Amino acid sequence: MSFDATFWVAVSFILFFLGLVYLKVPQKINELLNKLILEIKIEIEESEKLRSEAKKLLDNAQNKLDGAKAETTKILDQTKKDSEKLIIEMNDKFHKSAENKKKLAETKIIQMKETAIKEIRDASVKIAIESVKKIISSSIDKSKLDLLFEKNLKEAKIELKKINS
């Protein structure tokens, strides 16, 4: 029997595999692969943990951002309300002040008018009295003059009392 090259290749192939099995190479490869698989699983679990932590941090940061936005909006709204109230208060104070000044001015005008009227009356009365004195002194004798003066003086006092009250 003659063995050809294929036979020897087949025999060497079988011997090679038997040598690998004898040296426990498949077990070592299997152990190495299992170890690598375990390391990959651990890394995947760690990355999942990191991803979930990152998601929690992101959600937390997003909640804080939303809270800050809501707080900012609330502060802005409150500030607008406060400024509107302040504007209304300032406007009311201005109008009250203007009204008070207007009333004060009107009071002063009325007082000045009354003072002017009183001064005019006083001056008119003085002028009338002086005129009457001159007329009487030049046209009537002294006894009639005294009677007339007394009578006119009483009438003037009565008129002045009516005017003052």
CB 156 within 8 A of CB 125: yes
Tell me the pTM.
0.41
Give the mean pLDDT of 31-41. Answer: 95
The runs of H, that is alpha helices, within the chain are: 5-22, 25-139, 142-164
- Given pLDDT bands bounded at 50, 70 and 90, which one contains residue 165? low
Q: Crossing angle for the helix pair 5-22 and 25-139, nearest 10 degrees?
A: 60
CB 156 within 8 A of CB 129: yes
Cα–Cα distance, 156 to 162 (Å, whole number): 10
Give how far the C-alpha of residue 5 lies from the chain's centroid of Cα atoms, to the nearest Å: 100
Q: What is the pLDDT of residue 128?
A: 82
